[in-house]
Amino acid sequence: MKLRILLALASILLAAACARHHSDAPAPAPTAAHSYPYRKPLTSLGAKFGALPMAVQNCVRAEAGMQEVAEVSKSSTATLVYYKIDFKDPANFPPLYVAADGSVLNPDLTVAIPAPQDASGGLSGGPASVVTIKDLPANVVAVIAERAPGADIDSISKEIWGNHVVYLVSFKDAEHNPKLAVSAEGTVLHQAR
């Protein structure tokens, strides 16, 4: 009986020593004769597509349906963030350029098909952010002062309409000062009545 206990104890100690020995040992370094096969980042096309803004994903689905994507890349210019989608069948589906708001772009980055807009004139799924009067370009501030002199501003949001930056300005006294949509260049695009 004692012999069995000693043998069992010896087996456990030997197994523990082997396990510790293997876990403490460093992984063997790849050699020139045996190159390590894993060199690519741990991303997939599905993950890249899923990371796209929803407006871009919807645009790709609308334009190319379920065509197999070969590559997704993000680029930008001084005024535009856009995505290039390459397909596995480039003969029938050339690269698709899509702005962050979901607009289809020509290869020269001009707008081919503007992003869909909802009934209120805003973007459907497009990016918008809240800004203050201090964040506005001087020509936008001038338009607000001209159209609503002395009016108290309730809120200002910045949106992208196609390839234009637009500021939506709401006033506290909406009855006398209707909402304004002003381009970054200072052009009034819409004034509610």
- Assigned domain for 133 exists: yes
Same-domain status, 98 and 139: no
Same-domain status, 171 and 139: yes
Same-domain status, 180 and 136: yes
Q: Which tokens go with 20?
A: 């510790």
- Looking at per-residue pLDDT, the higher value among 45 and 85 belongs to 85
- Assigned domain for 9 exists: no
What single-letter amino acid sits at 23? S
Same-domain status, 139 and 91: no
Q: What is the pLDDT of residue 190?
A: 66
* Cβ proximity of 103 and 82 under 8 Å: no
Same-domain status, 50 and 94: yes
Task: Give me the mean pLDDT over the 94-106 stretch.
Answer: 93
Number of domains in the chain: 2
Q: What is the pLDDT of residue 170?
A: 87
Q: What is the pLDDT of residue 90?
A: 92
- Assigned domain for 22 exists: no
- Is residue 55 pLDDT above 90, yes or no? no
Enclosing domain of residue 164: 128-191
- Assigned domain for 40 exists: no
- Looking at per-residue pLDDT, the higher value among 130 and 70 belongs to 70
User: Could you tell me the CA-to-CA distances from 38 to 29, 35, 105, 169 in Å, in that order?
Assistant: 13, 9, 36, 53
Same-domain status, 109 and 49: yes
pLDDT over 70 for what percent of the chain? 71
Same-domain status, 109 and 153: no
Task: Give me the mean pLDDT over the 83-92 stretch.
Answer: 93
User: Could you tell me the CA-to-CA distances from 177 to 163, 169, 173, 180 in Å, in that order?
Assistant: 27, 10, 6, 9
- Assigned domain for 75 exists: yes
Q: What is the pLDDT of residue 159?
A: 85
Q: Mean pLDDT over all residues of the chain?
A: 78
Q: What is the CATH number of the domain that holds 85?
A: 3.10.450.360
Residue finishing a domain among 57, 81, 113 = 113
Same-domain status, 55 and 105: yes
- Assigned domain for 59 exists: yes
Same-domain status, 148 and 105: no
Q: What is the pLDDT of residues 120-175, one digit of tens each?
A: 444 444 556 777 888 888 888 898 989 888 888 888 888 887 777 888 888 888 88
- Assigned domain for 147 exists: yes
Q: What is the pLDDT of residue 51?
A: 84
* Cβ proximity of 55 and 100 under 8 Å: yes
Same-domain status, 134 and 182: yes
- Looking at per-residue pLDDT, the higher value among 130 and 48 belongs to 48
Task: Give me the mean pLDDT over the 65-88 stretch.
Answer: 91
Q: Which residue has the tokens 């869909």?
A: 116
Q: Which tokens go with 123?
A: 């973007």
- Assigned domain for 37 exists: no
